[in-house]
Structure 1
Amino acid sequence: MPLTLEDFDYLLPPELIAQAPLAERCASRLLVLNDGELDRGFCDLPGLVQPGDLLVFNDTRVIHARLYGVKETGGQVEVLIERAIGPHEALAQVRASKSPRTGSRLRLADAFDVTVLGRVGEFFHLRFPETEELLVLLERHGKLPLPPYIERAADDHDESRYQTVYARDPGSVAAPTAGLHFDQKMLADLARQGVRGAWLTLHVGAGTFQPVRVNDLGEHRMHRERYVIPQATVDAIAATRAAGGRVIAVGTTSLRALEGAAQDGTLEPGIGETELFILPGYRFQVVDALITNFHLPKSTLLMLVSAFAGMETVRRAYAHAVREQYRFFSYGDAMFITHRNDAI
């Protein structure tokens, strides 16, 4: 039978949605998922990986992608950048009582005007002033965009905690949240243990929070996200494979970039875009294990994890996490999942 949206639903008490980070990054819990569920702490991760394993991190950095302003008519608008498409242009979600017209202008942050060039699917194509680079303008006038299920505005604490400690390349509108659990001490401990690290960049777009709007998942079309995979990372993966180690993706973004870049059967370095939609039945080509947070009901990320671990396995694990009162979503707890070739 074809998969439907209801196959990926579960009941989540609202109080389990983490609204703020813990005091220490690695203080979160870790649900180890293999043949069963094992409750651990994230600080136990070094005991779950082995010398010769390779952790692949996404080094994207979250930008100040949320802006507030007014239309020419005086109506209020909220702009959330989806992604930059040039030094002075971007695709964005625009929330207003009435959608702005092509050719109209928006006054943002009471500081500058942008022109609405048109629509690209569900997004608006905006042109920003040429007096400054777009990312510079956003850093100065924009706000950090916390996810919609965090019911508060971003504060100064979020400026550091909603970034990974290794964030380098600005461009995301959401953090690669599995990486939020790592601090510098853990990275150093893993390196001393002989666990290698490799890097890629996938800029997370606002589309990651868009709900799936069709019940027949065969009709869903994924949002596109840009990635960069260096030659050094491809070489590290090949060396790990040759030595019998595991390739461990830190987060679904790392996994999606790697699998998206290997669709022709060989992992290729370079710059690309992926709209890969991973559902149960997908054959994974690159990744052996996954570190990930808990994901929203009916979300494409929950579907990806179900493809990696098996649908029934994930259902049981999520039910266990709810019973044991794990913390969910971006600031929540994590899972360590070993891929099963027979996952269904």
Structure 2
Amino acid sequence: MKHSHTLPIIGITMGDPVGIGPEILVKALSDPKLYALCKPVIIGDSYIIKQALKFLNFNHHINIIDDPRQGNYLFNTLDLMDISNINMDCSDLSGPTIETGIAMQDYIIKGIDLALANRISGLVTCPITKTALKLANSQFHGHTELLAHRTKAKDYAMMLSGNKLKVVLVTIHIPLSQVSAHLTIEGIIKKIRLTHTSLKERFNIKTPKIAVAGLNPHSGEDSMFGREEEDIIAPAVRLAKEEGMKAFGPLPPDTIFYQAVNGWYDAVVCMYHDQGLIPFKLIHFKDGVNTTLGLPIIRTSVDHGTAYDIAWQGIADPSSLTEAIKMAAFQAKNKKPGINGY
């Protein structure tokens, strides 16, 4: 085991108190193996975490701290920065309130600021919803937008990562009917660059091989099924190659993921949300991790939502959060400061 003083401090936001965040957080930190990889500190609410411990019949001690450097970081002790003061039984609520919405946004802001100040080495976020952000009167629709705004990141991307498949999305939460209109050569090359840099600097892959998916069936089949490949995607891939990147494509979406899973490529750049997430979740439904590329801080997250329908029932699976914590620690180990904005 590494000496504790060499381990990265990883901040973990509690997410929406009404969702499964508190439960999976307590469950994940009940794994002693995590304490051999990092020093986890909860950014959340002590009253809610106490509820989760009692509900799950866990006997962990809570160590409330004002600064991550004050943590004990010992198994069976939860080091916690007490950001909110929610004195209600969240198990009685079916959805977020104004109070819980404001609180979960405050956790995120605190976590970002700690990471920017280098007081934590990485940030892991438990799930939130757009509804909760709206109740909090937030101008943001989700984690990514808030992270990008507060860190002043101009170019960023969502990567879904597992040990078999990594996918990066060019467009994210827009209607399928609008995807083609939102695709540009510059937009695609930016995502390829972010993928290339992150695979090198965060995942320690010296020469990343990046597959770029086509948009249409059979990747357009010589423009018979659409011209996006010839007019937009192929020029972006050519630019990536000219810049020295090992980019391949546009490749037919019906075979590209099979090839990536079998080791042909290190990541797949996808044109729209479900193109990447359907194959990814088929393989990594329980252990997938969402990580944001292009930020000056390390950020990983669970690959699922708040799951209000099963919250506070004791049945939520912490696997994705466990993997997100491990990935944040791994990226912190590999991070090379001052390179390409990181």
TM-score normalised according to structure 2 size: 0.24
More helix by percentage: 2
More strand by percentage: 1
TM-score normalised according to structure 1 size: 0.24
